[in-house]
Amino acid sequence: MKVTLTKKESNAKPTEVVSVNILELASELADMELKLVWGETRKGLYEDEESCITTYSDEAQDIFNDLYDKYYSLIESIQEV
């Protein structure tokens, strides 16, 4: 699903239209906030610290899921009708 956001300046016509993949944006925002919440050490954040693939620990995955849902709902609520 893609969301189109329109940047408006006061009462002027829209000046810029941006298409966003809502799944990717929600995922990136959730990942960024998870890393901020988890702290600088990030100990216990990943299932396998050496893996090239992001696999969160069970606790981190639960937090990520909640953050993802929050951001997905937020982005979806501001999309243009």
Q: Is the dihedral of CA 33, 37, 38, 42 positive or negative?
A: positive
Contacts of 54 (CB under 8 A, 6+ apart): 31, 46
Ramachandran sector of residue 57 (left: φ over 0; alpha: ψ -120 to 50; beta: rest): beta
Kindly list the domain boundaries of the chain, sorted by start residue.
Answer: 21-77
Using alpha carbons only, how large is the chain's radius of gyration in Å? 16
User: Would you state the pLDDT for residue 3?
Assistant: 52
The whole-model pTM stands at: 0.71
Question: pLDDT tens-digit profile of 40-61?
Answer: 777 778 777 677 677 888 998 9
Identify the segments of the chain with pLDDT beneath 50: 1
